[in-house]
Structure formats: C-alpha cells, structure tokens
C-alpha cells in the first residue's frame, strides 16, 4: 500500500520532499557499538514522548580530548515524522562539540528539513516529533557531562514546538501591547504548530497556556491604567501636586530613611515642624534634638546635607529652615 494512501493525499502534501525521503531512507539510522568506539567515548541516550508514545535512541561517538561528536546515529520507535526528524537531528550533531550540539533546537531540525525556507517541513500537529529530537540531544549531553537535563534549560518553556519561553512571550506582549493570541503567534511563532499551548483542550495538556499569559498581562495593563487615572485625578504624582498631608509624609519618610540614622549615631535627631510654600519654593521647618542642638554644624554641613537630600529625592525646590 502506498504511503499516500495511508496518510491521505492532501495531508501528505504538507510534508516536504526532504521529510519524505528521510522517512523512507534515513541516512543515519543504526547503532554504534563499543567495538567501533575504540578510544572514543560512546554515549547512548533514550528519550520518549508521553504525548504520542514515540521514542528515540541517540548514539554519539565523542572524542574525549575535544568533546567533538565524530559520529551520530539513532534508532526511532515511532512515526515517519519522528524518523525523519531524528535522522536530521543526528546529522546536525556531527562535527559539533557537545556544547554546540546542545544548542540545536527543534526549530533548527524542522528548518533543515524544509524544501524551501518559507514553507514548513511538516504539518503543525506533527511538530512535536522534532521536539523529541531536541530533547534526546539534551539527554545525551547530560549523560556525557554528568549533569541533569534541566541544567540546559534555565527558563520555563511554554511552546515546546517553537521553544518559546514564558518570559519571552510576556515581554513581547508588554512591549508591543498585544491583545490577542493571534498577535502573539505572529510575533513569536508560539502556538503556530500543534497549538497545544494556546488554550486547554489541545493535543497535549500544559501547565501554562498562551491565553493565561495574555490575560495576566492584560490585567496588569488594566491595573496600571486604573492607577494612572487615579494619579491624574489627584495630581501628577509630583511633590508640587501633593496635598499638605502627603508632603509631610514624603518628607518624613526621607528623614527617617536617610537622615535620622546618621544623626542618631551621634546622639542627635531631627523633628519636622511644618512645610510652607513661599516665593515659588517649599520651606521645610525642622527642629534639632539631642546632641544636634549644640552641634556647630547644625546650620552648615548638616543643614546642607538635609536640604540636598530632600531636593534630590523629591525633585522640588526646597529650603530647609531651623526653628
């Protein structure tokens, strides 16, 4: 029976000629034995995809002096797409160091299988097969280096097909003020393939979906807009727009955080008496306490330091006066 009959003519046309060739005649299928390894190190890694039941075994022959992969072969227990993806994955590994190979992504595998740069090599629902090829590389590298697979993944992946992280997606939404999942896909390619990451009910269950991240950013945006409107209603947030009570609290907080610790260290303190507006500036009336009352610098260096700090923090024309 022809493969065209098994899959269906229309769907079969969605597979590139390169994928079809490697399905029927993979170039790197097979195993590497200990006898072939000789002085080189043989790495054998197994990885299975729970979502579809496919599995792949990757063989690496690595030069221990240079960490270069001098041969790479595979065995695949799965569909034709898994065979083609694994075959290309093994080919891409050869000639690279282990550190270089672990940077190969499933997108690299899929693009290498394309006949033309702008047309995907496989239909979106089969993109997960190239993810398995990507994961088995990480498994092989972890065995070679004696580390956990997770050490190669320092960010949370939301879209396994496009290998797009949660931080990247949220940053793109924020920077470009996106409002729909379709826009997220246009900007990042997340959700463009199997669509499992878009919302619940897809090919594979996820912990986080694109709709969740979009709603989170939209809620943040609404909260920011609400806060902005409140500030506009009360003023622009500057010292000048504050009421007297707000001005007093602002000055008190600066005195408490930056001024009083230094004064108390020498047995002194300062008390805010009042704030008055006069001739385009704000007069902050203070009263020294403790050792500061008799200190010779209370009207020079100390006073100038308090005034400079208030001007710097509040971005307003302030004159400090000792009462």
The residues annotated with a catalytic role in the active site are 52, 129
H-state helical runs in 102-239:
106-112, 128-145, 166-176, 181-188, 210-234
What's the first-to-final CA gap in the chain, in angstroms?
A: 101
Phi, psi (rounded to 5 degrees) for 274: -170, 165
How far apart CA 88 and CA 287 sit, in angstroms, is 78
Residue 37, burial from CB neighbour count under 10 angstroms (0-12, 13-18, 19+)? middle
Contacts of residue 96, Cβ cutoff 8 Å, sequence gap at least 6: 68, 69, 104
DSSP 206-229: -SS-HHHHHHHHHHHHHHHHHHHH
The torsion angles phi and psi of 240, rounded to 5 degrees, stand at -65, -35
Q: Give the contacts of 210 (CB within 8 A, at least 6 positions apart).
A: 158, 159, 169, 181, 184, 185, 190, 191, 197, 198, 199
> Which residues are CB-neighbours of 252 under 8 A, at least 6 positions away?
272
Is residue 98 a contact partner of residue 153, using CB atoms and an 8 Å limit?
no
Phi and psi of 56, rounded to 5°? -140, 145
């Amino acid at each position: 029976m022809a493969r065209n009959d098994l899959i269906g003519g229309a769907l079969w046309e969605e597979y590139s000629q390169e994928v079809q060739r490697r399905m029927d005649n993979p170039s790197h299928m097979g195993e590497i034995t200990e006898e072939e390894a000789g002085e080189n190190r043989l790495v054998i890694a197994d990885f299975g995809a729970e979502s579809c039941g496919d599995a792949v075994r990757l063989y690496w022959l690595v030069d221990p002096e240079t960490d270069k992969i001098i041969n790479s072969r595979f065995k695949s227990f799965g569909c034709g797409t898994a065979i083609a993806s694994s075959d290309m994955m093994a080919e891409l590994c050869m000639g690279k160091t282990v550190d270089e190979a672990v940077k190969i992504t499933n997108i690299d595998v899929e693009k290498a299988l394309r006949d033309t740069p702008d047309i995907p090599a496989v239909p979106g629902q089969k993109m997960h097969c190239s993810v398995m090829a990507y994961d088995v590389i990480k498994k092989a590298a972890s065995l070679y280096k004696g580390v956990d697979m997770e050490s190669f993944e320092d960010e949370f992946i939301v879209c396994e097909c496009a290998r797009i992280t949660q931080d990247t997606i949220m940053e793109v939404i924020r920077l470009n003020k996106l409002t729909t999942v379709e826009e997220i896909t246009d900007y990042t390619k997340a959700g463009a393939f199997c669509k499992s990451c878009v919302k619940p009910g897809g090919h594979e269950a996820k912990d986080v979906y694109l709709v969740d991240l979009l709603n989170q950013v939209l809620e943040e945006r609404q909260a920011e807009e609400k806060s902005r409107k409140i500030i506009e209603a009360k003023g622009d947030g500057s010292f000048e727009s504050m009421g007297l009570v707000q001005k007093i609290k602002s000055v008190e907080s600066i005195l408490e955080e930056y001024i009083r610790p230094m004064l108390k260290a020498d047995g002194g303190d300062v008390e805010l008496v009042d704030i008055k507006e006069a001739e385009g500036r704000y007069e902050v009336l203070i009263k020294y306490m403790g050792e500061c009352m008799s200190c010779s610098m209370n009207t020079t260096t100390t006073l100038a330091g308090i005034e400079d700090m208030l001007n710097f923090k509040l971005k307003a024309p302030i004159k400090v006066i000792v009462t």
